[in-house]
């Protein structure tokens, strides 16, 4: 059940992430990697709030500040992976930035769920 709920939360965070990315690139003319980073953080914050209140309901430590820091570190690693994958696919394989974001998102999704489940919500 947690995996399903995490999937729903991830879709909501992903919507914020993708819409933010496209708006920042297409309308604000921000570099795709900077835009990806900004929109990723917005999605991360939404994901954290919904994960705490709906998906996992508790953590192993009961210390929300510690959990938020760990959650954010895991998210920042995910952000680094996202940016690295997008850069490699856009610069190396000349894929469209949205296509590269889709591929990066699928890979990073599994990292985020597994790491958060193990280190925060065990």
Tens digit of each residue's pLDDT (9 = 90 or more) over 83-104: 999 999 999 999 999 999 999 9
Mean of pLDDT values over 92-117: 92
Q: Which pTM was predicted?
A: 0.80
Residue, of 82 and 2, whose pLDDT is higher: 82
pLDDT tens per residue across span 43-67: 989 988 888 888 876 655 567 788 7
Using CA atoms, how far residue 108 sits from 23, 57, 78, in Å, is: 22, 22, 6
b/e per residue 65-93 (b: at least 16 CB within 10 A): eebeebbeebbeebbeebbebbbebbeee
Residues 6+ apart with CB under 8 A from 96: 90
Helix, coil or strand: residue 1 = coil
Encoded tokens for 54: 């709906």
Residue, of 7 and 60, whose pLDDT is higher: 7
Averaged confidence pLDDT in the chain: 89
CA 121/CA 32 separation, integer angstroms: 32
Residue 24: the pLDDT is 98
Per-state percent for the chain, helix, strand, coil, to nearest 5: 85, 0, 15
Q: Does residue 31 carry a pLDDT above 60? A: yes
Residue 101: the pLDDT is 95
């Amino acid at each position: 059940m947690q995996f399903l709920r995490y999937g729903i939360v991830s879709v909501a965070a992903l919507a914020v992430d993708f819409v933010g990315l496209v708006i920042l690139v297409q309308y604000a003319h921000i570099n795709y990697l900077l835009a990806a980073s900004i929109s990723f953080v917005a999605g991360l914050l939404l994901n954290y709030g919904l994960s705490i209140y709906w998906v996992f309901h508790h953590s192993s430590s009961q210390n929300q500040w510690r959990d938020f820091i760990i959650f954010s570190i895991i998210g920042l690693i995910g952000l680094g992976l996202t940016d690295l994958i997008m850069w490699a696919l856009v610069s190396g394989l000349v894929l469209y930035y949205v296509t590269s974001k889709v591929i990066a998102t699928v890979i990073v999704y599994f990292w985020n769920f597994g790491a958060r489940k193990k280190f925060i919500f065990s």
